[in-house]
Amino acid sequence: MTRNVSDSDSVRRQNRGLILSALRSGGPQSRTALAGITGLSHASVTAIMQDLLAQRVVEELTSPERTDGRMRGRPATLVGFQRAAAYVALFEIDVNRLRASLVDYSGVLVDRIETAISPSTFAETQPGDFFGAHLDNLRERTPQAARTLRRIAISVQGILNPDNSGLKWSPIANLAGSSFAHDLARDSGLPVALYKRGRLLAEGTRWLDPGLHQSSVATVFVGSTVAMGLSLHGHITGRSEGGATEFGHMNHMPNGALCRCGMRGCIEAYAADYGILRTSYSVPDTTPPAPAVPAQQFDALIQRAEAGDRDATHGFNLAGRAIGYGLSRMMAMFDPTHILIVGPGARALDLLRPEVEAALSSSLVCRINGLPKILAHPDEREPIFRGLMMKTLSTLDQTDFAALETGSRI
């Protein structure tokens, strides 16, 4: 049972966390600016800063670099994260690729390794060992980071265990089943966090687009799979309080098209690249899906549909309808004001939009509240990485550094 008692310790944690989080989203700032943003008094900011400086969590920036020469008064000394205060290792795993990144505490990418993944990769190597090997690699290449490495976070696809120690199911062959997060944590001695890709998309767009930072956005990935993350007023919501949803495998049509997951009628079976391709080529929708669709083949299909090809258009229509009804069903439970389509499918938004909007219009909530704004952001790599990084660093801020005991505040 967690104690929710509030005492001076929790007060300090809360207010230190407030300052770190302001620094995280606003970059290096003066103490006065931080006092304004957090609502703390100048005295408290100074006191907390003294602790943070003494603990080498933050540092004063040497180059004041006044933006305007005509500023009066004592110039502010900016305070920013001390880059070497901590490092985190981030893994993004995909059906055919692993990307391992080393990031310092200020959010600067230090090192990156990319490796190809094949369906046999995890048949030959235990997932925990596979990640462990890459972690060692990162450590060897940046020895000074190895000492202060604090956390590991992995972006995954599939359904998580209740304790987030591994996956119960995943489209990545042989990845599910083992508690690889637990294994990796044991072997490395570091905390390991698993995040669903869709959830990170939501987190990432929250950080990428300042305009959307505090609004309610449903971020939908359309590509080799279909996934969704929800960011409601800056809070990530969804299954298991982990912010994950199974949007791609939400049922669209009872007994419908065969999905890669083995079930029938999932949204993904209509709206992922393989589904659109299957419809466009009039392949029966009970045919087992192709393992992977090359990017150029998908782009060619988009071009055909844009040129007016009936079959291709039909494929995108069915995809749009599946996504649209899925969104309309989601909106019976959440009320995002914006829908952001990311991934390869974002390039086809104009083809999808009519059916998406038609489906949304047929729902009561949209008739009452109006349609949400539907936007596209073709790149999904950057949001996922940024989401993974910001989520991990923010967790580090709050869990590790906000809770540090005050030394002797003389």
Partner DNA sequence: GCATTATTTTTACTGCTCGAAAAAAGGTCT
Partner DNA sequence: AGACCTTTTTTCGAGCAGTAAAAATAATGC
Interface residues with DNA (CB under 7 A) are 5-9, 11-12, 15-16, 30-32, 39-50, 69-77, 406, 409
Between residue 283 and residue 302, which ones bind a copy of itself under the rule CB under 8 A?
A: none
3-state secondary structure of 278: helix
Nearest distance from residue 59's CB to DNA, in Å? 13
The conformation of residue 228, written as its DSSP 8-state character, comes to E
Cα–Cα distance list, 25 to 104, 152, 205, 209, 391 (Å): 16, 21, 13, 12, 11
Q: Smaller CB distance to DNA: residue 52 or 184?
A: 52
Helices (H), 331-362: 349-361
10 Å CB burial of residue 4 (0-12, 13-18, 19+) is exposed
Instruction: Give the integer Cα–Cα distance in Å for 104 and 393.
Output: 9
Residue 133 contact among a copy of itself, DNA, none, beta carbon within 5 to 8 Å by kind: none
Nearest distance from residue 400's CB to DNA, in Å? 16
The residue range among 79-87, 135-143, 301-309, 362-370 that interacts with a copy of itself, by the rule CB under 8 A, is 362-370
29 binds a copy of itself (CB under 8 A): no
Among residues 155, 219, 245, 398, the one that binds a copy of itself under rule CB under 8 A = 245
Instruction: Give the integer Cα–Cα distance in Å for 301 and 296.
Output: 9
Nearest distance from residue 181's CB to DNA, in Å? 33
251 binds a copy of itself (CB under 8 A): yes
46 binds a copy of itself (CB under 8 A): no
The residue range among 38-46, 118-126, 149-157, 279-287 that interacts with a copy of itself, by the rule CB under 8 A, is 38-46
Residues 6+ apart with CB under 8 A from 217: 202, 205, 206, 230, 231, 336, 337, 338, 339, 340
211 binds a copy of itself (CB under 8 A): no
In this structure, which amino acid lies at residue 344? P
314 binds a copy of itself (CB under 8 A): no
CB atoms within 10 A of CB 101: 20
Instruction: Give the integer Cα–Cα distance in Å for 231 and 218.
Output: 6
Nearest distance from residue 194's CB to a copy of itself, in Å? 15
Helices (H), 27-126: 31-38, 42-54, 121-124
The alpha carbon of 409 is separated from its chain's Cα centroid by a whole number of angstroms, namely: 38
257 binds a copy of itself (CB under 8 A): no
**Total residues at the site for a copy of itself (CB under 8 A)?**
59
364 binds a copy of itself (CB under 8 A): yes
Nearest distance from residue 41's CB to DNA, in Å? 3
Between residue 325 and residue 354, which ones bind a copy of itself under the rule CB under 8 A?
A: 325-326, 328-335
Residue 74 contact among DNA, a copy of itself, none, beta carbon within 5 to 8 Å by kind: DNA
Is the C-alpha dihedral spanning 300, 303, 305, 308 positive or negative? negative
Cα–Cα distance list, 283 to 56, 278, 311, 318 (Å): 61, 5, 11, 14
Q: Smaller CB distance to DNA: residue 4 or 296?
A: 4
Measured torsion, CA atoms of residues 54, 87, 160, 228, in degrees rounded to the nearest 10: 90
In this structure, which amino acid lies at residue 399? T
Between residue 147 and residue 206, which ones bind a copy of itself under the rule CB under 8 A?
A: 159, 168-169
Q: Smaller CB distance to a copy of itself: residue 245 or 392?
A: 245
Nearest distance from residue 183's CB to a copy of itself, in Å? 21
The conformation of residue 259, written as its DSSP 8-state character, comes to P
Q: Which residues bind a copy of itself (CB under 8 A)?
A: 3-8, 10-11, 14-15, 18, 38-40, 159, 168-169, 230, 232-233, 237-241, 245-247, 249-251, 254-255, 259, 261-266, 321, 325-326, 328-335, 359, 362-365, 367-369
